[in-house]
Amino acid sequence: MAQNDRAYDYDEEEEVTYGLALGFRILEDGGKLFLAEAEIAPYVDEPDELGVTLVFHPLDGVDPVDIDEATWPSWPIDVDDGLVRHASDSLAGQFASIIRQLRDLSEPQLREYLQVAREDAEKAN
């Protein structure tokens, strides 16, 4: 695993938040393939509002029957500020709005998010 790769882990002592993680796009950057995954969950302090974190996973060299999700490299980035949703909508309504906007993200936008997420991971190491 390269030095800038890190597993995206959760602090087990933090409050548990339930949501949905879904892979929604495979993109290519620099000749390598990445899975773009969206983690959509209520904010801990605002349970009636959904937040979104994009998580990018490298796909090159992955053995699909022998992958350990705990050590699979990933780079998260919060994208809440870039998405429009209304707290007055139901969670289902907010979710529908979010997934439509995720569908409409362009390849260049996703590559930009990937680059920022990787840079943040490098700074954290």
pLDDT at 1: 38
Q: Which among 11-15, 48-52, 70-74, 81-85 has the top mean pLDDT?
A: 48-52
Measured CA to CA, the distance from residue 64 to residue 55 in angstroms comes to: 18
* Greater pLDDT, 114 or 122: 114
- Each domain of the chain, given as residue ranges in start order, spans 20-124
**Which DSSP symbol is given to 43?**
-
Measured CA to CA, the distance from residue 98 to residue 101 in angstroms comes to: 5
| Out of 5-9, 64-68, 83-87, 103-107, least confident range | 5-9
**Which DSSP symbol is given to 60?**
T
Reading the block at residue 79, the tokens are: 């994208």
C-alpha 121 chain-centroid distance: 13
Mean pLDDT of 82-88: 91
Measured CA to CA, the distance from residue 63 to residue 60 in angstroms comes to: 9
Asked if pLDDT for residue 89 goes beyond 70, the answer is: yes
Asked if pLDDT for residue 92 goes beyond 90, the answer is: yes
Mean pLDDT of 42-65: 94
Q: What angle do CA 17, 45, 18 make, to 5 degrees?
A: 15
Nearest alpha carbon to residue 113 among 57, 73, 59, 56: 56
Mean pLDDT over all residues of the chain?
88
Question: What backbone torsions phi and psi does residue 93 show, to the nearest 5 degrees?
Answer: -65, -40
Instruction: State the pLDDT confidence band at 67, using cuts at 50, 70 and 90.
Output: confident
Nearest alpha carbon to residue 55 among 69, 74, 42: 74
